[in-house]
Amino acid sequence: MLEGGVHFRLWAPKRQRADLVLDGGSIVALDPEPDGYFSGEVREAGPGTRYRFRLDGAPNYWPDPASRFQPEGPHGPSQVIDPDAFEWTDQAWLGIRLEGQVIYEMHIGTFTKAGTYGAAREQLRELRDFGITCIEIMPLAEFPGEFGWGYDGVDLFAPAHMYGTPDDLKQFVDDAHKIGLAVILDVVYNHLGPDGNYLKEFSDWYFSNRNTEWGEALNFDGSHSENVREFFIENAAYWIREFHFDGLRLDATQQIIDESPTHVLVEIGRAAREAAGSRSIILVNENEPQHAKLVRPVERGGYGLDALWNDDLHHSAVVALTGKSQAYYTDTPGRPQEFISAAKYGYLFQGQRYSWQKQRRGTPALDLDPAQFVVYLENHDQVANTGRGQRMHQMTSLGKLKAMTAYILLLPGTPMLFQGQEFASSAPFLYFADHDPELSRKVREGRLEFLAQFPNLATPEMQQCFSQPNDRATFERCKLDFTERQKNADIYRMHRDLLRLRRDDDVFRAQSPHSLDGAVLAEEAFLLRYFGENGNDCLVLVNLGRDLNLQVTPEPLLAPPEKTRWQTIFSTESPGYGGCGTSEVETEHGWQIPAEAAVVLKASPQSQFQPEIKFQPEIQDKKKL
């Protein structure tokens, strides 16, 4: 912005001429610069001015590839935004580090009935009080239509207009910081959407001759890729600098193809951290082949990012809870040892053969810290991949769900909840995208082809049950109903209390490397022992099967530290969580572990030992649910 005008700059190396067309009809010729740039100062433009570009005098007008706002969507005019107009109040906010975070994945359009930043802001304090520390917003880059997931964005610098204005988004982040909540943004640098993507009008060099799962790969290492790299690197910095985001979640990084000496992800990470200044940010990866180098320091040959989603653990949990082991669930049978290994080492596959893909999966990751693995039972992809958008509580018994939830939320990894999971939302999360009819048909066919890897979903009868992605009713069905916090108060309370235990107990809060061990107790039961300082140990018993009675226990991890006894401090079978009650777990006759339950015990000095449960749920809590 200029005082009394706006400076415009455009990269269009395939064009000989570029004109700025203002909404009132004025046309301003831009001056050519080296390397295919055009620029000019326009005194009659200012905040709110709408504009397009005309290229080589042709009759078509195109939106700005680096537009800060598209008030009419990707096919309409761009709008000038003053990046300095918003008055931030978060100057004291220092940002976040990975350790200690509890992430909450949110889709702005379905998180509330209104589906706006403003409506989502009204829930921030409830999320904070519940135990969330960091919100992860699904992609916001402008995309076509009135609703969608956001992974088909085409204007990477323009926050989606259907959720509100750029200042509305800034207010969301500012309000979150005001109450101690961090916010990170999901960004897509592996492809662009098929509708409204006008980059080729300006330069063919944006894309390479290679392909990703979603079409043409972006050109990060080919001819004239320097400007393309700059575009995406600056985009990462832009979200951190102008919107004060506390980090990014990088979508499908295995599809960001770059064989340069310095991978573009390294430069994205550097630029994002530089944009944050004195604030600390986190950079999270989704990476299907599980490349541990993404989160190793650059000086050790890594990319210098922070965390990785752990699909291995998710897959094991799904099989253990549902018994379904088709497609990419084939190689994780959900046995107790998998949950012990995941707790200790993160990824289950770190270079072993993976029969589903007929190749080795993963890379060695034994040196990574536990917090570098993001762990979850649900996320947007996995809920939608059930075909009918089913939540985990709809696919297993309540007892098993609660037991696995306790295991996940107390792991030394970084836990993540998907919106509504915490109160067993009845809203599905389906694939929805408001494309034109022909593109919608192709998208639906592609979706059905993907889901056909699951034999039970490949039948014509089942596929007829799938919702149409471009049907607004599909989108509306996915919206949360917050009255279910009260309707399902038991499960909501249990999630909240687990997060409180994680936050308040020194042993669970530590997330220390090599601080736990585990043992298999039975075909569907296992234990994890968390080692604290001075014998301040904790024991997590998880039983996904029938009542387990162990009269003899030749397992040293069950033995309490010297001069202590185990005291039960949490049980998923507490009446406060809708359970049937838990009696003594360790008795003079051995161990009695209830069916489909998780129990947490803590070492207490024998003189202070009290048999009753100490970590009771707040049944009489007056706090609004």
Contact 480, 420 (CB under 8 A): yes
DSSP H/E element including 343: helix 336-345
How, if at all, do strands 6-11 and 37-42 pair?
Answer: antiparallel
Q: Write the burial class of residue 394 (CB in 10 Å: 0-12 exposed, 13-18 middle, 19+ buried).
A: middle
> Residue 334's closest CA among 377, 368, 271?
377
Bridge pairing between strands 182-187 and 78-79: unpaired
- How many other CB atoms are found less than 10 A from the CB of residue 391? 20
Contact by Cβ (8 Å): 572, 579: yes
What is each CA distance from 324 to 20, 318, 449, 597, in whole angstroms?
A: 57, 7, 19, 20
Please, which residues bridge with residue 8 across strands?
A: 40
Indicate which residues carry an active-site annotation. Answer: 251, 286
CB-CB contact of 38 with 32 (8 Å): yes
Q: Cα separation of 261 and 267, whole Å?
A: 11
Residues β-bridged to residue 284? 249, 307
Strand partners, 9: 39
- Sorted by sequence, the CB contacts under 8 Å of residue 535 that are 6+ apart come out as 561, 562, 564, 603
Name the residue type at position 557.
L
Nearest to 525 by CA among 366, 396, 399: 399
Residue 138 · residue 106 · CB < 8 Å: yes
